[in-house]
Amino acid sequence: MAVATHIRTVVKRNGETAPFDPERIGIAIYKAASSIGGKDKELAKELAREVVEQLNGNFPGGGSPTVEDVQDQVERTLILNGHALTAKAYILYRQHRKQVRKGEIGRQVSGKVETIPWKLLWKTLAWNAHNDCDSFDGLNRWIRSGRFGELVQGAEGEYNQQLDFAAQEVLHREGVRMVIVAGPSSSGKTTTTYKLAQRLKKAGMELVAINLDNYFRDLDLHPKDEYGDHDYETPEAMDLALINEHFEKLLKGEEVRMPVYDFHTGKQHLNQTPMRLADNQILLVDTLHGLYDDLSARVEAAAKFKLYIETFSQVRTPDGGFFRWTDVRLLRRMVRDANFRNHDPRLTLGHWHYVRRSEMKHIIPYLHTVDFTVNGSLSYELPVLKRQVWGYFKGLADYYQEHPERQDAIIRSQRVLHHLDALEAVGEEDEAAIPGDSLMREFIGGSTIRY
């Protein structure tokens, strides 16, 4: 495949660099196509050339894309050229190879691990397209129309309907003693857990929530990286043995004394809060790592209902790609950290490498165990998030330009800054249209929910 490129290296997931080989893109596309009966090698090469051309434009001046950047561009190119089935095969192959490398075993579907909720993705994209909010241009039109509140109302209705369906799924399952709401950082677990619990209580179920934040081990037991960051994102930061012991006892009706974790001192205090489950009560667990096997290994699978939430955003950027799900969550976390945790957004971005690494290791491989999936993205949210972050985001991107060792933060900040520049922010009146019990209020403030 002959195509000129100034890209010389790619950044691997461990932060190391490797030579950029355009030929491998064509080979990967052909393998994906051939897995569903495709035989056109020249078409695969042509698509690969388009991928490289797009990467050239996205990374001018010799920048280094990450492996994820390259793979995401392959997916976009396949979808935009009408090769949705090949795109699906490529994504599944990509995930399968990752699990093979790690030695992980999951439920096999036609030789690959099925972890992507395709029906939910297509449903979201179709709803967005029907409501003219599947692109930045469409969102900008909504803002200029003066009818932004109508889009808010429609998107909120779609989200709440998903929770109605989720509650029905729980109610139709026999023997459930534990409901786990899991998902990556800033996906909306807290609001989703609250709203799901309200629906189940209305149907006669009595739920008791347990706060797993109190099971963090002492901070001095957490590993640090070369930048001095503590890693709260790994499940091993929690006392998994104690969690399992308490789960097992609670489901037997025995009393436990839960620990209390002091985030100011980084210390865990054992045997503090008494807790017991009655026979008619169900344990409600809201946690980042609810799908991780070792978190609830001593609880029978039949007794657990696992709900997974992710921001499956389906909004196209001006370059024809889709705004990344992880970037939506990054912006949410920046807003929440700044609003409620007095946390510098610069540190939020600098810590994101931990978040992504932990998600890839401890969440994605277990998606095949999920009982129900909720799309936690709200089709109107990007202009709202821009209103919240735009005042400081350029300065944040400039800061990391002065720290070339933080390649991941540089790439993310430049990408998000570039995309948000093409999007209009909502005004105060438009933001006021967001309901007080909205998932979005979990991040921007003004929630009427008492968590």
Pairing of strands 267-275, 256-262: antiparallel
- Checking if the pLDDT of 237 tops 90, the result is no
Higher pLDDT, 2 or 290: 290
Quick one: pLDDT at residue 399? 87
Mean pLDDT to the nearest integer, 182-191: 95
Buried/exposed code over 30-50 (b: 16+ C-beta within 10 A; e: otherwise): bebbebeebeeeebbbebbbb
Higher pLDDT, 4 or 148: 148
- Checking if the pLDDT of 232 tops 80, the result is no
- Checking if the pLDDT of 111 tops 50, the result is no
- Checking if the pLDDT of 113 tops 50, the result is no
* Alpha helix positions (H), 203-324: 240-251
- Checking if the pLDDT of 106 tops 60, the result is no
- Checking if the pLDDT of 196 tops 70, the result is yes
Integer Cα distance of 378 and 372 in angstroms: 18
- Checking if the pLDDT of 76 tops 90, the result is no
Contact between 72 and 80 under an 8 Å Cβ cutoff? The reply is no
Report the C-alpha dihedral over residues 110, 114, 120, 126, rounded to 10 degrees: -50
pTM: 0.73
pLDDT grade for 62, boundaries at 50, 70 and 90 = low
Contact between 439 and 378 under an 8 Å Cβ cutoff? The reply is yes
pLDDT grade for 112, boundaries at 50, 70 and 90 = very low
Quick one: pLDDT at residue 109? 37
Mean pLDDT to the nearest integer, 351-370: 87
- Checking if the pLDDT of 227 tops 70, the result is no
Give percent of the chain above pLDDT 90. Answer: 53
102-106, 185-189, 192-196: range with lowest mean pLDDT: 102-106
Residues contacting 100, CB < 8 A, separation 6+: none
Quick one: pLDDT at residue 167? 96
- For 307-323, the pLDDT digits (tens) are 999 999 999 999 888 99
- Checking if the pLDDT of 50 tops 70, the result is yes
Residues contacting 323, CB < 8 A, separation 6+: 313, 315, 316, 317, 382, 419
Higher pLDDT, 356 or 306: 306
Quick one: pLDDT at residue 228? 64
Quick one: pLDDT at residue 105? 37
Higher pLDDT, 374 or 401: 374
- For 377-430, the pLDDT digits (tens) are 999 999 999 999 998 888 888 888 888 778 888 889 999 999 999 999 999 999
* Alpha helix positions (H), 269-363: 325-340, 345-362
Quick one: pLDDT at residue 360? 87
pLDDT grade for 256, boundaries at 50, 70 and 90 = very high
pLDDT grade for 291, boundaries at 50, 70 and 90 = very high
Mean pLDDT to the nearest integer, 325-336: 95
φ, ψ of residue 113 in degrees (nearest 5): -90, 120
Quick one: pLDDT at residue 320? 81
Q: What is the rounded average pLDDT for all residues in the chain?
A: 87
